[in-house]
Amino acid sequence: MANNGILLESGTNEVEILEFVVNGQPFGVNVLKIQAIEQFDPERVTQIQLSHPSVVGTLLFRENCITLVDLSLEMENEIASDASGDEQVIQAVETAISNNNSQTPNGQSDPTGNKLILVMEFNSMKTAFLVDGVNRIHRMSWESISPLSPFLASTESKFTGSMQIEEREILIVDMEKVVTEILPKGQETFAISDSDDSPVRSQRAEVTIYLAEDSTVIRDKVVKELARANYTDLKTFPNGLACYEAIKAVKKQSVTDDKPITNYFKGLISDIEMPAMDGLALCKNMKESLGIKNIPVIMFSSLINEQIARKCEDVGADSYITKPQFTQLVKLLDQFVLGVEPEED
């Protein structure tokens, strides 16, 4: 499946969402994550003994074996997980997806009745997902995708937002969180001692960094990992629009106070795909619309590839890096925020 025509101009705040169907309900995922859509062939699957109930086994895909996850089971586990906590949360999530049952979209499943496999790649890893079918691709603005309410987001739900299509509500699935929970792998940690009193370490605590990230899990992880390196003054925002509004406010304050904007924050870390305003539009608006060119922007995304790298450069991003390379993220902050010369490889 080719990703042709996506984001014809960098920073337009547009996205293409693939609508797929699980248990008769529509969900969405960014087309940029999709590597292939294929019919499910059980002969290509090797069952293995794993503790997580949503893992079907390994799938032979282009001469490589990748993990196959049954999203039907995973969505059931999501409801069950929420039900074990706050009853108001489970009711809200169930309402958000059950409203779609009254209208079934045409073409939602393979005509043979077979299930389909969505092969996705993000965080430099391929994973296959078993679904009941796909409907269509929707091209739209991130402004049309609503963030989850803070109440729902605080439950660490597997959804990052929702969109309305033909009176149907489609929830955007946080695929990174799904994979992280099913296939936990060692995240990078810092080889930095708590007793390290180097000048660079002390300087890190003196600068304010803004972080725009819609995933509660990733947002908390970034805060935790950067704190290990002594970047302790982070102001976080759940999407690009909230961050942009904060930047506009501090720019206005800097004018009122007659002080440089760097007195208020020194750098921006941003995800790319976010409801309301994506990271590319956030960067472009900050650099061009607000004219703030002396604040470095580092794009920290699971979607970084050659195409996305060019778009990061087009909107004026100072650097970009694939999640979850936290050690490298610190080096980039040191370089662009503190002015530390990068070490030669």
Rounded to the nearest integer, the mean pLDDT of the chain is 82
Is residue 300 a contact partner of residue 324, using CB atoms and an 8 Å limit?
no
Long-range contacts of 108-112, Cβ-Cβ distance < 8 Å, separation of 24 or more: 108/21, 108/26, 108/132, 108/133, 108/134, 108/135, 109/21, 109/133, 109/134, 110/39, 112/39
Q: Quick one: 71 and 23 in the same domain?
A: yes
CATH number of the CATH domain containing 119: 2.40.50.180
Assigned token pair, 137: 């691709």
Q: Quick one: 119 and 205 in the same domain?
A: no
For the chain, the domain total comes to 2
Last residue of a domain, one of 147, 182, 217: 182
Q: How many CB atoms lie within 10 A of CB 206?
A: 12
Q: Quick one: 174 and 61 in the same domain?
A: yes
**Mean pLDDT within 181-197:** 59
What SS3 class is residue 58? Answer: strand
- The two beta strands, 267-270 and 297-301, are parallel
Range of the domain at 42: 14-182
**56-107: pLDDT as tens digits:** 898 988 888 899 999 998 887 655 554 444 443 344 444 444 444 433 333 3
H or E element in which residue 251 lies: helix 240-257
In this prediction the pTM is: 0.76
How far is 16 from 25, CA to CA, in rounded Å? 19
Residue 191 is assigned to a structural domain of this protein: no
**113-164: pLDDT as tens digits:** 579 999 998 877 899 999 999 999 999 888 888 877 665 555 567 888 888 8
Q: Quick one: 215 and 100 in the same domain?
A: no
Last residue of a domain, one of 116, 149, 182: 182
Residue 254: per-residue pLDDT: 96
CATH number of the CATH domain containing 324: 3.40.50.2300
- Positive or negative CA dihedral for 185, 153, 34, 70? positive
How far is 181 from 142, CA to CA, in rounded Å? 26
84, with CB counted inside 10 A (0-12, 13-18, 19+), is exposed
